[in-house]
C-alpha cells in the first residue's frame, strides 16, 4: 500500500475553508481535489466521500472557531463583559475578508439541516452549546450585579444566540456591517 503524500490535517483545513466559502452543494469533488492538491483516488481512499470530509471539516470548524467563542463566554470572569466582548470580536471578524463568509455552522444549518439529519443533529447540538454558554455568562453577570435580574438567563441565552445566528445569515447575504453594528448597539444598550 502506497503512503499518503499529503498532510490530512492540512487537507481538512483547506476543505473547511472551501466549504466555508462555497457551501456544500456548490463544492464538487473535483473542486476539493484541486483545492487540496490531491488525486481523486487519494481523496476517496482518505476521506471516503464528499459528505464525510464535509462532516470532518464541520467538526474542525467547531473545535477551532466555535470552541474559541464558547471559551470567550466561559473564560471571561465578568459575565456582562464576556457577552460584550463576544459581540465585539464578532464585529471585528465581520469586517475581515473571511467575515463575509459568515459562520460555517450557520451556513450549514441554512443550507442542509432540513434534508440532512447528520448535519441537523450536529449543528443543533453545537448551537445548543453556544446558547448555554450565553446563558451561563448572563447568569454570571446577574450574580455579579452587572445584569438585570428581571430576565431569565436561559431565555437571554436563547435571545443572544438567535441574534448572533441572524447576524451570521445577514453577513452571508452580503448585508453591510452597519446593520450589524446597529444590532450590536441595541444588545449593548440592553445589557447596560
Could you report the per-residue pLDDT of 147-183, keeping only the tens digit for each? 999 999 999 999 999 999 999 888 888 666 777 888 8
Which pLDDT tens digit goes with each residue over 33-60? 999 999 999 999 999 999 999 999 999 9
- Residue 182 three-state SS: helix
Which pLDDT tens digit goes with each residue over 68-96? 999 999 999 999 999 999 999 888 887 77
Class of domain 57-191: mainly alpha
Instruction: Name the DSSP class of 66.
Output: I
Per-chain mean pLDDT for the chain: 91
pTM equals 0.89
Beta strands per DSSP E along 50-184:
none
Whose cell is 456582562? That residue is 80
Mean pLDDT of 127-133: 96
Which pLDDT tens digit goes with each residue over 89-111? 888 887 776 667 888 999 999 99
Q: Quick one: cell of 89? A: 470580536
pLDDT at residue 66 in the model: 86
Rounded Cα–Cα distance for residues 192 and 109 (Å): 32
Amino acid at each position: 500500500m502506497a503512503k499518503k503524500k499529503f498532510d490530512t490535517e492540512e487537507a481538512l483545513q483547506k476543505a473547511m475553508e472551501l466549504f466555508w466559502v462555497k457551501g456544500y452543494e456548490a463544492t464538487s469533488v473535483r473542486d476539493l481535489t484541486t483545492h487540496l492538491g490531491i488525486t481523486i483516488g487519494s481523496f476517496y481512499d482518505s476521506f471516503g466521500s464528499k459528505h464525510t470530509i464535509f462532516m470532518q471539516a464541520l467538526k474542525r470548524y467547531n473545535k477551532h472557531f466555535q470552541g474559541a467563542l464558547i471559551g470567550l463566554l466561559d473564560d471571561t470572569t465578568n459575565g456582562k463583559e464576556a457577552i460584550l466582548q463576544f459581540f465585539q470580536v464578532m464585529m471585528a471578524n465581520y469586517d475581515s475578508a473571511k467575515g463575509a463568509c459568515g459562520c460555517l455552522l450557520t451556513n450549514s444549518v441554512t443550507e442542509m439541516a432540513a434534508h440532512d439529519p447528520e448535519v441537523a443533529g450536529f449543528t443543533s447540538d453545537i448551537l445548543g452549546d453556544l446558547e448555554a454558554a450565553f446563558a451561563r455568562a448572563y447568569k454570571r453577570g446577574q450574580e455579579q450585579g452587572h445584569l438585570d435580574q428581571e430576565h431569565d438567563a436561559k431565555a437571554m441565552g436563547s435571545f443572544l444566540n438567535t441574534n448572533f445566528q441572524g447576524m451570521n445569515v445577514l453577513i452571508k447575504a452580503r448585508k453591510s456591517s452597519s446593520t450589524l453594528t446597529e444590532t450590536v448597539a441595541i444588545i449593548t444598550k440592553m445589557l447596560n
